[in-house]
Structure 1
Amino acid sequence: MKINDFIHRFPTACGTRQDGICRVRTFIGENSTVFALLTDLGDKNTSSSVTNSIELLCKSLLARGVVSEQCGFIEHYEANTFRGDTFDLATFGDSGVPHWESIKQGDIEALLKCDAKELNARTLDQPRLLNEIDRIRNEIDPFIDSPYPEASEITKRRNDIESRMISKRMIIDIVERGAGEQELQRLLKQDLSIFAEVYADPKDEYICFSEFPIADGAVDFAVFSGRSRMDITLIEVKGAEFHLVNQGHYDKFACKIDDAIDQIRKRLRHVIDGIKEFRVQVHRVRQNVEEGISQYNSLLGPAGDLEVDPDKDINIRCVVIGGRTRNDHEESMKRHDVERSTHPPIRVESWDTWLRKVRRE
């Protein structure tokens, strides 16, 4: 028979750590023995688990007078994606060291003189308990679910970038109007963060460029990002006044797309032939931008310096964007064929497929 059911706040082993919380239900079970069922709250717990805090948790219940020295303690973890409910009888020897013995739910029901409904009801589905959890969590830390405040210089860069952002709608409008290459490039150069939005990972760690020099020419746009190894994305942009694939010829891209693929292949040959020199060059550019020296219309992301190692290999990715989609399914197969057959891979996007990847409104 259940006596009470509440959310309990308990101390943890380290004095500087936050208190933990768990659900406690006490029962009068077999032979009038009192048992405390200690339910771990998973992500809602503010500190270490019931298992890792079992000694202090039980002592705190005894200190509050909730249970007596004769009480039996049962650990309980509610079911998740990988397993069902688990129950373990926790006992303490003369040394105070805990020992656990796994018990089946049916045996627990008999031990506590309760039915399956009591044990199968999820804690977070009960408004009274959920309200109590939220109240105590807020007492422990009013900002417990808030992100850690970022440095002021990061916030300033983020605000500066956001103040100059172009909307997705602006790009859609000129694409649907059939804008040419130069008109699209003029718009995109106003806000290079749109390329970081699609290609940077981690999302706030990037440097974007326009007209980035390679060999005896340049690519339209480039994005530096990554961790440890630097990821370099080279981007060629064509207009939206033609279809990506010629009508009736689904084995042939429009000539402007073929030209862009050839252009980027030529640049890549120079890069691969002199990869060590290219790596030194791009890291020198990166360091200049991080030190405040603007190059090639550079835009430094909110996080500032990239956490990359100049002595490690770089990853090179290439993208061609241009034309409009006519038959998404058939064109996607041809686009994927190009990506699989080129080294480094060249991804081909129509403006329609590329705009799907833009997250902003």
Structure 2
Amino acid sequence: MKVSDVVHDFGNSKMHSCGGICRVRTYVGSEGVVVLLTDLGDLNDGQSVTNAVEKIIDSVIRKGLVTQSATFIEHYERDLAEFDTFDVVTLIPTTQWKSIKREKVVELIAGDEKELSERSVENRSVYEQADQIRYQRDPFRGSVHIESPAVIARKFEIMESMIAKDSISELIESRANEQEIQRLIKKDLSLMAEAYVGDGEYICFSEYPLADGAVDFVIFSGRSRMDITLVEVKGAEFNLVNSNHYASFNHKVSDAAEQIQKRLGVVYRNYEPFRKDAHERRLKVLSGDLIHNAFVGPNSCKGVDPEKDVNIRTVVIGGRTVNDLEESKKRHDYETTSTPPVRIESWDTWLRRLKR
């Protein structure tokens, strides 16, 4: 017979202090008092039952949840109840665990099979008790980390000057040429960061000098090892893949890919000077010198290690998609077989990356 069922706080209940909760069920059966200590997995904000079992047993006795000699059983729930684990815990002379079969546990708790089949996280009372304890300890548990005022202010600046996705879509739909698209993106370089970085740690450039020319757009990003993404763009006035029986990429895209590969050849043959130069340019931007139309993200790529290698990625964007499935295969094949790998995008696939 079950006599109590509570979510027990074995941690320090003061706000922002050490956590730790588990489910404690007390039964009286033919062999005396049995206490089931169930680990609550992701609901637990502290040590596991195994790591804190001495503390838990001491705590339930001190708080009067158990007032007489009892058998303590450590219990871990799995997705399927038949795979649950049970161990009898004894503390004297030292802490020891002895595995016990589920059938024996059912016998000890007076045959309450349903008790063991239900998952604790699906029990509304258990879930609510766990939430109440955890939020008393930390009212903002699970909330988003609050960033520094400078980072938040920069995010507001970027949002206020963002070009709407509809404006970009309209330009693409009008089959704009390369110059028209470049002109729009240069007004809001966060477009490139949003498509290929995703978070706020970046610096974007346009017309970035490289080898014997300039790359349309370049993105520095990362926290430890810096990622450098080189982006060449072509217009939207043609289809990405030709409609002839060769089904090849439009020559403008092929030419851009070939051009960027040649520049990458120069980069990799002179890798160390390129790497050092990239970090020197990054530091110039961070000092306030906005070279190459630099656009600084909220966190500005400060945390990268200038002594580590850099990852170099390349993208060519151009043309319109006609057949998503076939073009996706072709783009993937090109990226995996080109050396160094070049990612091909149509303006349609690029637009899908934008979340604004």
Shift of 1:185: 1.3
Do 1:90 and 1:99's aligned partners in 2 also have CA atoms closer than 8 Å?
Answer: yes
Q: 1:127-164: per-residue Cα shift (whole Å, max 9, x none)?
A: 22222221111111101111332222222222222222
Which residue pairs with 1:231 in the alignment?
A: 227
Do 1:30 and 1:113's aligned partners in 2 also have CA atoms closer than 8 Å?
Answer: yes
For 1:21, the aligned partner's letter is I
Q: 1:163-216: per-residue Cα shift (whole Å, max 9, x none)?
A: 222233322221112111122112212222222223227x33211111111123
Q: Between the two proteins, what is the percent identity of the paired residues?
A: 49
Q: 1:112 aligns with which of 109, 113, 119?
A: 109
Q: 1:201-258: per-residue Cα shift (whole Å, max 9, x none)?
A: 7x33211111111123111111111343321110001111110111124442212112
1:282 partnered with 2:281: no
Which residue pairs with 2:300 in the alignment?
A: 304
Which residue pairs with 1:255 in the alignment?
A: 251
Give, in whole Å, the separation in 1 of the partners of 2:245 and 2:351: 24
- Report how many aligned residue pairs link the two structures: 356
- CA 1:328/1:49 → structure 2, altered by over 3 Å: closer, same or farther? same
Shift of 1:82: 12
Which residue pairs with 2:344 in the alignment?
A: 348
- CA 1:197/1:266 → structure 2, altered by over 3 Å: closer, same or farther? same
Give, in whole Å, the separation in 2 of the partners of 1:217 and 1:311: 26
Which residue pairs with 1:179 in the alignment?
A: 176
SS where residue 161 of structure 1 aligns?
helix
- CA 1:84/1:193 → structure 2, altered by over 3 Å: closer, same or farther? farther
Do 2:223 and 2:301's aligned partners in 1 also have CA atoms closer than 8 Å?
Answer: no
Give, in whole Å, the separation in 1 of the partners of 2:288 and 2:273: 23
1:134 partnered with 2:131: yes
- CA 1:166/1:85 → structure 2, altered by over 3 Å: closer, same or farther? farther
- CA 1:334/1:305 → structure 2, altered by over 3 Å: closer, same or farther? closer
Which residue pairs with 2:3 in the alignment?
A: 3
Do 2:81 and 2:116's aligned partners in 1 also have CA atoms closer than 8 Å?
Answer: no
Structure 1 residues without counterparts, runs of 5 or longer? none
Q: 1:286-329: per-residue Cα shift (whole Å, max 9, x none)?
A: 11112222111212222234332223222211100010111223
Give, in whole Å, the separation in 1 of the partners of 2:292 and 2:81: 51
1:123 partnered with 2:123: no
For 2:176, the aligned partner's letter is A
SS where residue 24 of structure 1 aligns?
strand
Which residue pairs with 1:319 in the alignment?
A: 315
SS where residue 296 of structure 1 aligns?
helix
1:166 partnered with 2:160: no
1:199 partnered with 2:196: yes
Give, in whole Å, the separation in 1 of the partners of 2:82 and 2:339: 44
Matches within 5 A, 1:11-90: 11=11, 17-31=17-31, 33-80=32-79, 84-90=83-89
Give, in whole Å, the separation in 2 of the partners of 1:306 and 1:200: 15
- CA 1:84/1:172 → structure 2, altered by over 3 Å: closer, same or farther? farther
Do 1:251 and 1:334's aligned partners in 2 also have CA atoms closer than 8 Å?
Answer: no
Do 2:16 and 2:138's aligned partners in 1 also have CA atoms closer than 8 Å?
Answer: no
SS where residue 114 of structure 1 aligns?
coil
Which residue pairs with 1:93 in the alignment?
A: 92
Give, in whole Å, the separation in 2 of the partners of 1:313 and 1:237: 26
Shift of 1:75: 1.1
Give, in whole Å, the separation in 2 of the partners of 1:167 and 1:58: 59
RMSD value, Cα? 2.3
- CA 1:82/1:193 → structure 2, altered by over 3 Å: closer, same or farther? farther
Shift of 1:9: 1.0
Give, in whole Å, the separation in 1 of the partners of 2:80 and 2:71: 29
For 1:312, the aligned partner's letter is K
Give, in whole Å, the separation in 2 of the partners of 1:220 and 1:62: 70
Shift of 1:16: 8.3
Q: TM-score, normalised by structure 1?
A: 0.92
